[in-house]
Structure 1
Amino acid sequence: MSTPPSPGRRRGPSKGDRRERAILETARELLARKPLADITIDELAAGAEISRSSFYFYFDSKLSVLVALLDGMAGELGRDAGPWLDGSGPDTAALREALLPLARLWREHGRMLAGALAAAPGCPPLAQWRESLRSAHVDRLAARIARDRAAGLAPAGPAPHVLAGLIDDLRTGALAGSTDPEALVDDLVTVELRMIYGDLPIHHPGE
């Protein structure tokens, strides 16, 4: 069964797929340099080599382009977290391997991601994107915390979902506010592991 188009997007003919991708790629490049509010429909259309009227065949607004870009990045944001979220114990290497690709993504697309997060409280489509992304991580992390507590690997503390939510918010806030997200990875590993497992020694690669 085919997936219905997301709200705000209009289904075009199959030959238009390249044009839709061109609009998205143009938006990605523009958003790396300036906020959505400063980007015009004419710029998006010109980058995709289509007319302004043709743009509206694929998207009904600049916001719907941004939401489509963010939806496409959702998989990337959680792609490498599986070994950490599905594992057990204070596994420094697995957490670091989950955080490094996330930090790189923030380095490459930080302006767009930070702008989307800042606008989310007053914009339902962006708020829905943020909540979906957060829930996916928090639910899996909470399950991991609960498993480790049941196995005696982690001490008792705040409810697993509460603690997982605090970790997710801390991680997102730190990466969003950093000019060098990759430099934060080792510190985030230390903080997240100690939030879950207590004051235990953390050894990073190369130490």
Structure 2
Amino acid sequence: MCALQRLVRGTALPRRCASPTVLHRRYRRAVERVNRVSRNGERRYSSIVPVPASDSPTSRGRRPVRPSGDDRELAILTTAERLLAERPLSAISVDDLARGAGISRPTFYFYFASKDAVLLTLLDRVVAEADAATTDAFGGRASGPREGWRRAITAYYETFRAHRALTLAWAEARSTNAEIRQLWAQVFEGWVLRCAEAIESERQRGAAPAGPPARDIAVALTSMNERVLYATFTGDGPAIAETGAVDVLLEIWLRAIYGTAPSD
């Protein structure tokens, strides 16, 4: 009993579908630690603005509290995502990233080899976020296929919508950066495998009819998601409105897998 079958029957998905990427655990620990003490209590790392050492609170007779190495890394990542919302990576310099993080240019190179390395790390982090959200969606209780697939598509949609500036930056970088292209291919393969497993599961339990190979359907549907959401978030070419994107994608997924759009 696999992915969607567990979702439909209300049982939890086992944690055997690991993320295909090499996750940056140091960054996640830093984010969790800083988020716990952030003023507004938000959990997203992009909402955190690290405090430079010169502005840190002090106690009488004590030295100022200086940011840790993890905090500096987080500051660089936060600055990069903020600046990418304003202009493309090509218009952002290492000096811009260092200045926004409250560090010197030489210090920047202690943490990252280049701007592309920052972008690669951001991609790794957001993919981990999307994987976690999708796993939660597949592991929750659902009344039927429609609700189950809606949860999975919505988790993917909401994660990348929250990082739309990065979505555009990654798409542009994939044509010139082999590492980003390779990482995205690994990520895409992981999503395809998970979807193919769910489709096969639905066929085996008699909920979905036989048809083209489950992997081929998964490749087509996942590729569609990628292109549709990219156009929706960036306005590149004909695009579906954000308010209707999940509904349209869901209907196509259900009809491709089940032949009709089943109701729960």
- Please give the TM-score of this superposition, normalised by the length of structure 1: 0.83
1:79 counterpart SS class:
helix
**Structure 2 counterpart of 1:153:** 207
Aligned partner of 2:170: which letter?
A
Of 98, 107, 120, the residue aligned with 1:45 is 98
| 2:253 paired with 1:192 | yes
- Mark the CA change 1:188 to 1:113 in structure 2 (over 3 Å): closer, same or farther: same
Alignment deviations for residues 137-165 of structure 1 (CA, whole Å, 9 cap, x no partner): 11011111112222222112221111101
Instruction: Give the structure with the higher percent helix.
Output: 1
* Residues 34-73 of structure 1 aligned to structure 2 (within 5 Å): 34-73=87-126
- Mark the CA change 1:65 to 1:28 in structure 2 (over 3 Å): closer, same or farther: same
Maintained 8 Å contact 1:103/1:181: no
**Structure 2 counterpart of 1:79:** 132
- Mark the CA change 1:55 to 1:113 in structure 2 (over 3 Å): closer, same or farther: same
| 2:170 paired with 1:109 | no
The more displaced of 41-50 and 91-100 is 91-100
Rounded to whole Å, the distance in 2 between the matches of 1:21 and 1:84 is: 27
Of 9, 12, 27, the residue aligned with 2:80 is 27
Rounded to whole Å, the distance in 2 between the matches of 1:168 and 1:62 is: 28
| Larger RCO of the pair (alpha carbons < 8 Å, separation 6+) | 2
Shift of 1:129: 1.9
Q: How many residues were matched structurally? A: 193
| 2:220 paired with 1:166 | yes
Aligned partner of 2:99: which letter?
A
- Mark the CA change 1:154 to 1:83 in structure 2 (over 3 Å): closer, same or farther: farther
1:178 counterpart SS class:
helix
Alignment deviations for residues 151-186 of structure 1 (CA, whole Å, 9 cap, x no partner): 222112221111101110001110000045343011
Aligned partner of 1:125: which letter?
E
Using the aligned pairs only, state the percent identity: 33
Shift of 1:107: 2.5
Query: Unpaired segments of 5 or more residues in structure 1?
Result: 7-13
- Considering only CA atoms, is the larger Rg found in Structure 1 or Structure 2? 2
Rounded to whole Å, the distance in 2 between the matches of 1:161 and 1:101 is: 21
Query: Unpaired segments of 5 or more residues in structure 2?
Result: 1-21, 25-66, 234-240
